[in-house]
Structure 1
Amino acid sequence: MFRQLLGFAADRLQRLGAECSRRAKLWWERSREPDKNEERGLNLLREWLSPQQLAQYDARKYFDVIGSQSGRRYRIYHGTAANVREIDGAGRPRDGWCFVPDARLVAGDVMLAQKIALETDERRALSVARSFL
Structure 2
Amino acid sequence: MFLLFHQARAEVSLRVQALRELHRKFWFENNIETRGLCLLRNWLTSEQRAQFDAKRYFDVIGCDSGKRYRIHYGAATNVHEIDTAGRPKVGWCFAPVGYLVAGDIMLAQKIALETNELGTLAVANRFAPKDAGLALPA
What's the counterpart of residue 68 of structure 1?
63
TM-score of the aligned structures, taking structure 1 as reference length: 0.74
SS of the residue aligned with 2:119?
helix
TM-score of the aligned structures, taking structure 2 as reference length: 0.71
What's the counterpart of residue 54 of structure 1?
49
Query: Where does the alignment leave 5 or more consecutive residues of structure 1 unmatched?
Result: 1-29
Letter in 2 for 1:131: R
1:1-133 counterparts in 2 under 5 A? 34=28, 36-133=31-128
Letter in 1 for 2:87: R
Identical-pair percentage: 62
Letter in 1 for 2:85: A
SS of the residue aligned with 1:56?
helix
Shift of 1:107: 0.3
Letter in 1 for 2:105: V
State the alpha-carbon separation in 2 of the partners of residues 94 and 38 from structure 1.
30
Shift of 1:89: 1.5
The alignment's C-alpha RMSD in Å is: 1.3
Shift of 1:90: 1.5
Larger Rg: 1
SS of the residue aligned with 2:99?
coil
Shift of 1:85: 0.2
Letter in 2 for 1:102: V
Letter in 1 for 2:118: R
State the alpha-carbon separation in 2 of the partners of residues 121 and 83 from structure 1.
18
State the alpha-carbon separation in 1 of the partners of residues 49 and 114 from structure 2.
16
Shift of 1:41: 0.4
- How many aligned positions are there? 102
| CA deviation map 1:11-41 (0-9, x unaligned) | xxxxxxxxxxxxxxxxxxx9xx547111110
